[in-house]
Chain A
Amino acid sequence: MTTGNQLRSFARKPHNVILIVLAVTLSFLTLFPLISLAKDTLIVHPSEIMTVKGSSVGDATLFHWKKVFFDGETSQNMFYKPFWNTVNVSLWACAISLLLGGSVAWLVTRSDLRWKPFISTVFIFPYIMPSWTLAMAWLNFFRNRLIGGAPGLFTALTGIETANWFAYGFFPIVIVLGLHYAPFAYILIGGILRNMDANLEEAAVILKAGRLKILSRITLPIIMPAVLSTFLLVFSSCMSAFAVPAFLGTPVRFQVLTTQLYRTLNGLNPGYGYIMALVMIVIGTGILLVNQWIVGKRKSFTTITGKSSNISLVKLKAFKNPVSVLLILFVGVIAILPLVTFAVESFIMAPGDYSIKNMTTQFWIGPGSEDVGGGEPGILLNKYIYLGLWNSVKLSVIVAFVAGTVGALAGYAVVKARGTRLASLVNNLAFFPYLMPSMAFGAIYLSMFAKRNLFIPSLYGSFALLVLVGAVKYLPFASRAGMNAMLQLSNEIEEAAQIIGIPWWKRMVRIIFPIQKSSFLSGYLLPFISCMRELALFVLLIVPANRVLTTMLFQYNEKGWNQYANAINLLIVLIVLIFNTVINKVTGASIDKGIGG
């Protein structure tokens, strides 16, 4: 074959074309912004003419690098300390979520626990809800007078004053992040346990090995690589958490990289912020590499055979009822109680007074009043809330559509061309945004699109920019789902259609998609839900005209208008839960499929 022929035959296959287009587009959308970001660490920004003496906007400077890394006490306080805080918080939160998520996963898949369907549904609520939900609930409960003035529900009910270290800072951040990501670990580890070939375990049972021995010598080694890779994914998620440390850390001046990033980018020295974003991306990339190395090694285990027979469930015996009841209580406390506190807090007029006569509907349906806030009406009468709600839904739907579609195509193409270098390039590019901390990702898009760049006009402040950043950021979920869907689909089905001359798009729309409908739809659902509850990604890019509910919530929170904030939070959680349930019931798509695989 001549090169021309080779090229022609290469281009005749739709998946090759998809791969080329994706490789170019994704490089442009993920790698190119990095260059822009790097450049931003080296120039003087408009707000920095106060800091970098005698400079003018746009001058080249090493000032930021020097200040962030090599300026003694200043760098220590600005960068190194938040950096170590970040690492510490992520490690501990990770440990909690793995232990908790792993245990629940084991109990649900491998034991005769009671009420499994209820537990497994409700246990993932904290992951579906915005991450700061639990943080706000923590504050509602454990706020103390030492710093917070009005004490929280816990103190109001028991009279016990909570300690500072318990109410704010490192400890609650770790607990809250751990709880938030426990469902994530549960989904990943549960997926492995469910799909794992039970033959080995059964063989051990036949050979009369003890349960503990089976767990430690067979089950754990088999799932270890998956657990490690879960660990890395959870670690990088914790590292990029913004809202939780922002809510719980500020009162005791506990800083992590994301909160520093936000402050510097909105303050006098965005240059510092861009450097921190770069650091976080480097860590994320490192994690991706390590993860790949681990997953690569995992190939030696065949974890999914699809034929695993029904393994006999471990009998919890005397522990069955206590454990089941405890778990029910636990999921109630972490998933349902927070919602109750939001409801209660949103009806309170004078802070800290939980008597009935202090209840008011002012913050839901009251008219504006300057002597309780800034004169804004209750949230159900506030036109800006509806604007934000509409923007949130519109944004999430479009992002889900774009990410889901591109992800499905990517999944299709990558699986079709499995093993080629191009396919693995696209696979990596499509997964890369997952490891970029949301806030850093927002920062690089801010840096790249705030001004005219190449042929692209300045997109700052446009809805399109939000769509773009959301679609790229959530592409990994969709492409994962798309790939899983395609892997389960035998090639012959498409080939049969090909032989009788059905055009490509018709094969996609009429055959492939319908067969794997629920898997593909999961690739739309996860971006939708993530987008509805996203804060860190958008908080730097939003302008008042296209504000979304989450950024409004954040503003109300910062202003200290707690009742409005609690009311909006409740609204967001309910909307997300309702959407999730409806979509799940109607289409069978579910978020476990997107990440669990």
Chain B
Amino acid sequence: MKKLVILSLLIVAVVSMTAAMGEKEGAAAQPAEKVMTHDELVAAAKAEGRVVVYSITSRIAGAATDFEKLYGIKVEASNLKDGELIEKVTKEVGGGITGADFVISQDSGRVFGQLIATGYLVNYVPPTLKSVIPVKYQSPLTFQLINKVFIFNSEKNQSPVIKNVWELTEPKWKGLVQFKDPKSEGVNANFLTMLTSPEWSSKLDRAYQDLYSKKLVLTTKNAGYEWIKRFFENGLVLGNSDTTISENIGIKGQPQQTLGLFVYSKTRFDAKKNLALLPMTEVVPFSGFIYPAFIQLTKNAKNVNAAKLFIEYLMTKEGFAPWAKDVGSYSANPTIAVNEGDYPVSFWAPRLVPEDPQFLFENRAAVEEFVNNIAYK
């Protein structure tokens, strides 16, 4: 009988070992909100000694290194795609699992519906910045605004190559325009969704008349859908990464004029990677789109104080340095100057399509299905 016991113990051990390993209890306890002085916060953060952040922007890596140096607090930073980040946070916080302490997220429709409405993300505005950051950026706290604009290869020609977005549906541009697959990044799907809103579809309708001096004949629900359909069906090249697209568009020695709709900040690669990229700012009715990245604590953050300290740091000039070095990033903190080669948000805002979380939440799924059907025919 003894050997039997040993045997079963062995098997049970092998099987259950795997189950027991690495399993940690989520620290669900939320410390009571009390106002700490900045010094107290620093002390408490140092006592925690580490902080975990998930971020949609890869430049968090640079900021993390600087923060580690400044405070001696270890940072574990991960760069995730927007949808991936939302899924991970949903599962981690929903399952009471210790994961990120704070996140920098984007894709407002989903973030509002899936993470903020459920209470998975908790807003925190650093007391030192309450009077600095405009109220409209405080709930949820916006880390930065990001813009994606029409950018063209400027090797041979430095003046804008289109004046109206409807030109992109003409045979002239067939196969020469690139855009990131809206299925691989939520904000791109958001942009398309916003185009179907009453406001933007009527703007598109007017733009069509301006360009061709005739009425747009619809084969779809409205001018927004119509533009999306023709834009995609004109040999639009879908990419998986704005970095790759920037290289594809910007590389020198191309036989034909190309252009793309991608993150403006990628023009920072110009010098090192020998690319030629210039943005267009006067396209009718929009030159691209703009969206916020939010910065918030998770509900079950373990290193709350270190996270708060890092959030505060990222909202200051030093913390924002990795982003401010280049164009295309706009801190919600107005005291941080925009890069010299760039325009302020007040310049961009009227030229770009913004996000409306409520409209996105209600219409995004339908537009995604529509896009899927024309893109994967």
- A interface, CB within 8 angstroms of B: 11-12, 14, 17-18, 21-22, 25, 46-47, 49-51, 73-74, 77-78, 81, 145-150, 250-251, 253, 255, 263, 265-269, 349-353, 368-376, 398, 402, 405-406, 409, 450-452, 456-464, 467-468, 471, 503-505, 543-547, 555, 558-562
Q: A49-B113, A370-B322, A464-B21 are in contact. Are A351 and B14 (CB under 8 A)?
A: no
Q: Which residues of A contact B109 (CB under 8 A)?
A: 50
Q: Is the CB of B11 within 8 A of A461?
A: no
Q: Which residues of B contact A14 (CB under 8 A)?
A: 3-4, 7
B213-250 Cβ-contact flags toward A at 8 Å (1 or 0): 00000000000000000000000011111111101110
Where chain A touches its partner, the secondary structure class is: helix
Residue of B nearest to A47 (CB): B114
Q: Which residues of A contact B254 (CB under 8 A)?
A: 145
Q: Which residues of B contact A18 (CB under 8 A)?
A: 7, 11
Bound-state CA distance A130–B32 (Å) is 49
CB distance from A275 to the nearest CB of B (A): 16
- B interface, CB within 8 angstroms of A: 2-4, 6-8, 10-12, 14-15, 17-24, 52, 54, 57-62, 65, 76, 78-81, 83-84, 86-88, 90-92, 94-100, 109-110, 113-114, 118, 175, 181, 183-184, 237-245, 247-249, 251, 254, 268-269, 271-275, 322, 325-326, 361-362, 364-365, 368-369, 372-373, 375-377
Residue of A nearest to B10 (CB): A505
Q: Which residues of A contact B373 (CB under 8 A)?
A: 73-74, 77
Q: Which residues of B contact A468 (CB under 8 A)?
A: 18-19
Q: Is the CB of A349 within 8 A of B273?
A: yes
Q: Is the CB of B251 within 8 A of A150?
A: yes
Q: Is the CB of B84 within 8 A of A266?
A: yes
Q: Is the CB of A463 within 8 A of B244?
A: no
Q: Is the CB of B97 within 8 A of A458?
A: yes
- State which of B54, B244, B268, B275 has its C-beta within 8 Å of the C-beta of A560: B244
Bound-state CA distance A74–B372 (Å) is 8
Q: Is the CB of A77 within 8 A of B58?
A: no
CB distance from A556 to the nearest CB of B (A): 10
- State which of B78, B80, B94, B247 has its C-beta within 8 Å of the C-beta of A351: B247
Q: Is the CB of B272 within 8 A of A349?
A: yes
- State which of B97, B244, B274 has its C-beta within 8 Å of the C-beta of A460: B97
Q: Is the CB of B7 within 8 A of A402?
A: no
CB distance from B218 to the nearest CB of A (A): 19
Could you show 14 A-B contacts with beta carbons less than 8 Å apart? A17-B7, A46-B114, A47-B114, A149-B248, A263-B184, A267-B183, A371-B269, A452-B95, A458-B97, A460-B92, A461-B97, A464-B20, A467-B18, A504-B3
- State which of A268, A462, A543 has its C-beta within 8 Å of the C-beta of B24: A462
Q: A17-B7, A25-B15 are in contact. Are A268 and B326 (CB under 8 A)?
A: no
Q: Is the CB of B65 within 8 A of A374?
A: no
Q: A370-B59, A467-B21, A559-B241 are in contact. Are A50 and B181 (CB under 8 A)?
A: no
Q: Give me the 10 closest cross-chain CB pairs, A-B, nearest first.
A: A149-B248, A374-B58, A560-B241, A560-B244, A544-B78, A463-B22, A560-B243, A375-B62, A458-B95, A51-B365
Bound-state CA distance A451–B26 (Å) is 13
